[in-house]
Amino acid sequence: MIPKETVDLILDTARIEEVVGDFVTLKRRGSSYVACCPFHNEKTPSFHVTPSKGIYKCFGCGKAGSALGFVMEYEHVTYPEALRYLARKYNIEIKEEEESAEQIAARQRSESLMAVSEFARQFFCDQLQSPEGKAVGYRYYRNRGIEDTTIAQWSLGWAPSGKTALVDAARAAGYKDEYLVAAGLAIEQENGTLVDKFRERVMFPIHSVSGRVIAYSGRTLKADNPAKYVNSPETEIYIKSRNLLGIYFAKSQIAKADRCILVEGNVDVVMMHQMGITNVVASCGTSLTEEQIRLIGKFTRNITIMYDGDGAGLHAAIRAISLILREGMNPRVVFLPDGDDPDSFSRKHTLEEIQAFIEEHEQDGILFKTDLMLSEAGDDPLKKANLINEIADTIAEMPDAIKRQVYVETVARRFGIEPDIILDRVRKTREKLRRETSARSRQDTPGQDRTQTGQDRAPSGPDDNTSSPEQGGTLSRGLQKRERILEPSERELLRFILQYGRTPLQFESDSEFYDENGTQTVAEFIDAALGTDDIHFANAGYETTYQAYFQLYDQGVEQDDIVRSLLNGENREVAAVTADLSTEKYELTVHNFSDALTTTDSWLVNYVPKAILAYHDKRINARQQELQQELKTSGLSQEDMLSLLGQLGKLNEIKKTINIKLGRIKK
């Protein structure tokens, strides 16, 4: 763990223009810098860096944050990893806080395994230059069209034919036998001797997200060897189900393109990257897993499956579609012409042709599955009924109620049946899954609540307080609608807090807001106005940031230090909101030119109360729409209808008062 004093020193030392400038060419514009955004494609610069505030923000895609946040976003690393990156950049020594003996031993062992794995990487690369390596391994790579620059970038290598070539070299370099075995590089035979696990194979290193070599995949070149690929076993540093071949090289482009292409083979990945399509990964010798999908989910919600079009490929794609949907992500599929895989296809076509093919032939995952199975069912009514149930069960696994509703209606049209038939099956399946998950949770942690993990999570979403997808969809849409209505006003209030939170509001003595007990700050005034009615922001990100701000405010932390803490905290959603609302595209932040002639204090006195009134007005609008929707509900009793109409009448009166105060209407 990095001590707080060291964290503070790192954050104090890091200059955002220097950090960002390592990755992006910045051009000075006044007191700030501009560039084309590194997070999305653009021709006109909309990416701004403001050294005085220590903030970057793109006014095109909306990404924003501090120097630390930029490293995390661009390099896709964790909070501690970003801190260590900045420490290395500024030559700041990190002395970890005291660890237990067990922690020290575990860390040292992990580092030892990483070190021996890295030694093996260099060994295999060196062996590629040996006479045997050149004659067999290098020749294979070149015959497959893999260029020298790609071989070097991916550290492709050759495992020689000797039984103990790697073991002997590692021992000579001082590495212990136990680490060779524990890293999956050697096998201990019954007589206690060690032999290399990989022999006479071209070697593909598997990198972690941060770029460290943690495992290998070795391909034999002998036609009579039934084990075409041999992969590293699971070790303390490598868990197959949680890693993807190529993720280190692909992560930035996946995030930038907001899409990940998933292929099957090692060479497929390498060749697609060499061609210039670099948002491509493959599962590491395993069927696609939930953990691998969640790893992709750190960078995008969109996955395009590009498997072989044979029976095995189709079966694997259908399974992958269900897994991706279950994680709340968006699957699409694209199949290459018969006889082609991504490797062979990339060698026959230009980059532009491949990109055009993918764009033209991509299909929605569920609709692909529906059409494929519908064609297989033909006119057989029993097969068709089973197919409808299977598709409905697939839809039921989707966490998002709105997506479920859309797919239900689309699939119903495909089958030519009423949506209610599919909805009924979806509801029953979700209820069954929910019961199963609840039972597992009770068995795992009897007598207490359990925070669900990805492995035993029911396919549920924020709407699952309801018992049916129809009701869930209505509630979810209602919440989203309320959030959309209130977002601009909540954004404005939070902006006032983050930019002027500790600025006093000097109301005149004849103002209705004048407080004879003392002057309130902007933050206190807004908090009091919302707290009177126990109002919380509908936008979850804004509410979390609001609470985080006042937690520091109540401790007496100064305004600039609060913003700095929020920007550099581990909650990256709070950091992004803070950066976004602490930055303006133009230096002038007043609302119009006439305000520029007044002081900040005077226009705050004018605009903060108006912003609160406008927020209350929006809340009334949202509530009125909800009541009007309730009035459309069939089967309402006369008493209920009169009650709803009475509530609408009271809201109209309050709304009129607010609009008078805002100057929108006259008394």
Mean pLDDT, each 10-residue run in order, the chain (667 residues): 83 89 86 86 86 86 89 86 90 77 82 94 96 96 95 96 94 95 94 94 92 93 84 92 92 86 93 95 84 86 86 84 87 86 88 92 88 79 86 84 84 86 88 72 44 35 35 45 80 91 82 70 87 79 90 87 88 88 55 44 80 86 80 74 80 77 69
What the block records as the tokens of 321 is 């579609």
Structure tokens at 233: 């076993």
Provide the pLDDT for residue 459.
36
| Distance separating alpha carbons of residues 249 and 279, to the nearest angstrom | 8
Nearest CA to 120 out of 168, 185, 178 is that of 185
Distance CA 473, CA 459 (A): 15
Written out in words, the top-level CATH class of the domain with range 370-440 is mainly alpha
Q: State the burial class of residue 593 (Cβ atoms within 10 Å of its Cβ: 0-12, 13-18, 19+).
A: exposed
What pLDDT does residue 470 have?
A: 35
Closest by CA to 49, choosing from 72, 22, 76, is 22
CA separation for the pair 549, 542 (Å, rounded): 10
pLDDT at 432: 83
Task: Say how far apart CA 185 and CA 206 lie, in whole Å.
Answer: 13
pLDDT of residue 517: 62
d(CA 69, CA 308): 39
Q: List every span in the chain annotated with CATH 3.90.580.10.
A: 4-89
Q: What is the per-residue pLDDT for 482? A: 65
For the chain, residues classed under CATH 3.40.1360.10 are 244-361
**Cα dist from 3 to 9, 97, 545, whole Å:** 10, 6, 25
What lies within 8 Å, CB to CB, of 284 at 6+ separation is 206, 215, 217, 231, 240, 243, 244, 245
Angle formed at CA 450 by CA 447 and CA 454, multiple of 5 degrees? 150
- The CATH 3.90.980.10 portion of the chain extends over 101-238
Contact in structure between 223 and 205 (CB atoms under 8 Å): no
Q: Contact at 8 Å (CB) between 180 and 168?
A: no
* Class at the top of the CATH hierarchy for domain 101-238: alpha beta
| Count of positions (residues) in the chain | 667
Give me the helix-helix angle, 540-553 and 522-531, nearest 10°.
120
CATH fold for the domain made of 4-89? DNA Primase; Chain A (3.90.580)
Burial of 131 (0-12, 13-18, 19+ CB in 10 A): exposed
How far from the centroid of its chain's Cα atoms is residue 111's Cα?
Answer: 28
Catalogue the long-range contacts made by 25-31 (C-beta closer than 8 Å, 24 or more residues apart).
30/587, 31/587
Q: Round to whole Å and give the CA distance between 176 and 120.
A: 13
For residue 630, give both structure tokens: 């309730």
Q: Which residues pair with 356 in a beta bridge?
A: none
- Give the pLDDT confidence score for residue 439 in this predicted structure: 64
Of the options 3.30.470.20, 2.60.40.1890, 3.40.50.300, 3.40.1360.10, the CATH number for the domain spanning 244-361:
3.40.1360.10
CATH 1.20.50 residue spans of the chain: 370-440
* Those residues with Cβ within 8 angstroms of residue 650's Cβ, 6 or more apart along the chain or in another chain: none
State the chain's maximal CA–CA distance in angstroms: 98
* CB distance 281 to 247 below 8 Å: yes
